[in-house]
Each structure stands twice: as structure tokens, then as C-alpha cells.
Structure 1
Amino acid sequence: MGAACATIAALLVSHIMKNAKNGRTLNAEVYAQLRAQILTGQFMPRQRLKVSQLSEQHGVSLNVVREALNRLAGEQLVELQPQFGFAVRGLSAEDLVDLFEQRGVVESLALRQSIARGDLNWQSDVVAAHHRLGGTAVVSPDDPQKLNPEWLARHEEFNLVMMRACGSPRLLQIVRQLAEASAIYQRALLPLAAVAAELETEHDDLLQRILDGDADGAVRVLLKHMEQTRDAMLPFLVQQEVAEQA
């Protein structure tokens, strides 16, 4: 009798653990899918995210969707608005300026540490990422006034590879989060056909500084690059905010 009870208990525990694991996997999948949809621009800034609609689309419970949206709210990708519900975080001139200021601080530190600690393998990875970026068309084939989404992905890759040798997983995580927040702005606002050539020149200069071990020079180029990117987007936000207040 005792052995039978122990067997039943073990089976119940196994079943519970399996269901818990499946639940965690499902939650993670829905979270990852929603996150990717926001970062790739499938959900636009300020777009309302209806829990019931997302639940039906993903074939999961309302609680699974709410948990995923709350996680995204913790990452400041989603906002929970009173009497309105969840929505993709909106864009603002004030937030853009703050975002790029903090990126400058964090990425300058990460780049300096990477140059100081990086080895030949890291340099090779940076060169390869730069080559992939340079081999990708900057302008979208569908709209010559907008950036190519593939180029944006290569640009993000190059940026993260540069910082990867910093030696701090926590610092790298902050770099990644700020870069993802910036990508939302870039996908929505950045019509860089006019300055694409200048950006490419800066990438070449940045790579050379890294290979030369010139941390000060690399940081200067990086900050100039960020400033130019920010300034290309800022007028659109200012104009939009003025129009909304009129």
C-alpha cells in the first residue's frame, strides 16, 4: 500500500512539474512573440494591445497574455494606461533625448572596456559584423525614404558585437535594452537616405579606431554617430508634438 501511494505521488509530482514546465514555456513563447512584434514595428507606438484579441490570436489564456504584457511593461516597451489598458509605449522628443544621452554614457564605458579587454577573436567578430553591415543596402527597397529593416538589424548587431568584450554581462544587458528602445524610434522615424553615406563613413572610422586600440578616438566617433542619429529623428517628434498641441 505504501509503495503504491509513493508511486502515485511520484506520478502526480511528475505531472504537475510537466504542466508547470509547459506553462512556463508557453508564457515565454508568448512574451517573446509580443516582444519581437514591438521591436520590429509590427505593433506601432501607442497602438492599443487588447488582451482578449491577443489571447485569441495566440491561442492562450487571458492570464498568459497579461503576464507577458506586464513583463514588457517592466522593460518599458509597453504602458498600462488607466481606463485604457495596455498599449505600446509612445514616442516623445524628451524620451528620445534622454535615451540617447544614457546610451552615450553606457556605450562609451562598454566600448572602452571592450577595447581594453578584447582579443583577436573579438576583433575578428567586429570586422565580420562590419562587413555584413557594409554589404547590406541602407535604403529600403520598398521605400527610398526609409531605412532597410535588414540594415537596421545588421547595425544593431555591429553595435552589440563592439561592446561584447566589455566583460560585464550586466553592462551588456543595459546596452542591449537601450539599443532595442532606440531601434523602435529608428524604425518609426529615421528616413536616413540623406545621411546614409555619412553613417557608412563613420562606421568605417569606428572600426579602424577599434582595430588601432584607440579607445578615446572610438568613443568620439561613437558619440558623434549617436548625436547625428538622434538629430535626424528629433525634428519629426517636435513637429508631431506641436501639431498635437495645436
Structure 2
Amino acid sequence: MTASEKVYASLRAAVLDGEFEPRQALKPQELATRHGVSLAVAREALLRLVGEGLAYRLPNRGFVVPDTGAERWQQIAETRSLVEPAALSLAVARGDLEWEAAVRAAYHRLAGTPFAVTGDWAEAHRLFHRTLLSGCGNDVVLETFDRLWTAGELARRWSFEANPTRDAAAEHEAIEQAVLARDADRAATLLRRHILYTAAVLL
């Protein structure tokens, strides 16, 4: 792993773990000193965060952590609410028994993993959502999902913190049951509601 990759991985984890506040400045020189790397390496790592939506680059103001109420989160949620329910409807129509088994396994893993915004639960959460769509048979849709999921990671973390009483487990269970019942309309509706709720909490 290169120095830039190490700094990037460390910064990414720090942002997602809440070590920086919303709108807090991410100063390249301070980060370079902290990690014992050159200014160029620190800036390269920050630019990778910008590419993932985990940092903003503001004209003449450097880099900052995004704002919880940023319009970007609403746009990501809106895009997901259009793309993913449609893809899920295709998956319900096209998915075979192997896909059904994968959905069951992904849900079982998610339900059996202790909740945490980051770490094992976060990965199980991502895998469940991706597995739901994997039956659609469209690689472009899945690539789009991967990009949007990464871009929305910080928003999900803040949303769960803003509403810790949210029963996400029940939402996931309802989606899984609708999918396995091959009820495309209900599954798509539940998924759309699930996606938009995250953005609504941040508002």
C-alpha cells in the first residue's frame, strides 16, 4: 500500500467514524504533518475523498467535511429512489432460485450482525441492498448502485445518529419478504420509502 493509499484509508475511516464535524476544515498541511507525509500526498488523499463525496473542495477555502443538510444528499437519495426500485422490480421478474437464496443469505447475515453504523453491520447492509438488485441482470445498474452507495455513506451514518430509534431491521425484513413473495410493486414501494427516509431525517 502506498503512502497516499494509507493516508486516504485513514482519512476515510476518520470521516465515517465521526472524528470530524460537519463543515469542519480538512487542512492538507495539518494532515500531512499528522501522517508524516508530503503535502502533495495529503492533497491526493483528500481529492480521493472528494471523488467519493466524503469531502468538498471549496474555491479559495480548501477542503471541508460535507454538511448534514447538503443538497447533495437529497439528490443522491432522489436518484437512488428512482433507480433502485425500478431495478428491484426487474430483479423480482428476472431473478432465479439462486438469486432468491442469495437474498435470503444476505438478509440473514444483516439480521444476525450487531448494529453499528460502520464496520461489519455497514458491510452487511451494503451487501443486502446490492444482492436485492443483483437479479436485475444489468451490470450498468449495479455499477451505478456501487457509486451512489459510496457517495451516500456519510449521509447514512448521520441519519442513523439523528434518529437512533428508527427500526431499520423491520424495514429490511419487510423488503425481503416482499421480494421473496415476488410482489414487485410492494417491494419497490418499500425500498423507495426506505431510501427517502434517510434523506428526510437529515432535513
Q: Same fold (TM over 0.5)?
A: yes
How many pairs are equivalent? 202
Match of 1:84 in 2: 61
For the structure 1 residues 229 and 76, does the alpha-carbon distance in structure 2 shift closer, same or farther, using more than 3 Å as the test? closer
Structure 1: gaps of 5 or more residues: 1-21, 141-146, 235-246
Match of 2:99 in 1: 122
Kindly state the Cα deviation for residue 80 of structure 1 after the two structures are TM-superposed.
Answer: 1.7
Kindly state the Cα deviation for residue 222 of structure 1 after the two structures are TM-superposed.
Answer: 0.6
Query: Aligned equivalents of 1:79 and 1:171: distance in 2?
Result: 26
Cα deviation 1:208-227 (Å, max 9, x = unaligned):
22223332221011112223
Flag the structure with larger Rg: 1
1:171 aligns with 2:141: yes
Contact 2:179–2:187, Cα closer than 8 Å, also in 1: yes
1:46 aligns with 2:17: no
Cα deviation 1:26-51 (Å, max 9, x = unaligned):
43343333333333433333221121
Comparing both structures, which one devotes a greater share of its residues to helix? Answer: 1
Equivalent residue in structure 2 for 1:202, among 155, 158, 171:
171
SS at match of 2:57: strand
For the structure 1 residues 230 and 66, does the alpha-carbon distance in structure 2 shift closer, same or farther, using more than 3 Å as the test? closer
Query: Aligned equivalents of 1:221 and 1:195: distance in 2?
Result: 15
Equivalent residue in structure 2 for 1:106, among 77, 80, 83:
83
Q: Aligned partner of 1:100: which letter?
A: A
- Superposed CA RMSD in Å reads 2.8
Kindly state the Cα deviation for residue 105 of structure 1 after the two structures are TM-superposed.
Answer: 1.0
Structure 2: gaps of 5 or more residues: none
Q: Aligned partner of 1:228: which letter?
A: Y
TM-score normalised per structure 1: 0.68
SS at match of 1:86: strand
For the structure 1 residues 71 and 183, does the alpha-carbon distance in structure 2 shift closer, same or farther, using more than 3 Å as the test? closer
Bigger relative contact order (CA 8 A; separation at least 6): 2
Query: Aligned equivalents of 1:60 and 1:148: distance in 2?
Result: 27
Report the identity percentage. 39
Q: Aligned partner of 2:67: which letter?
A: G
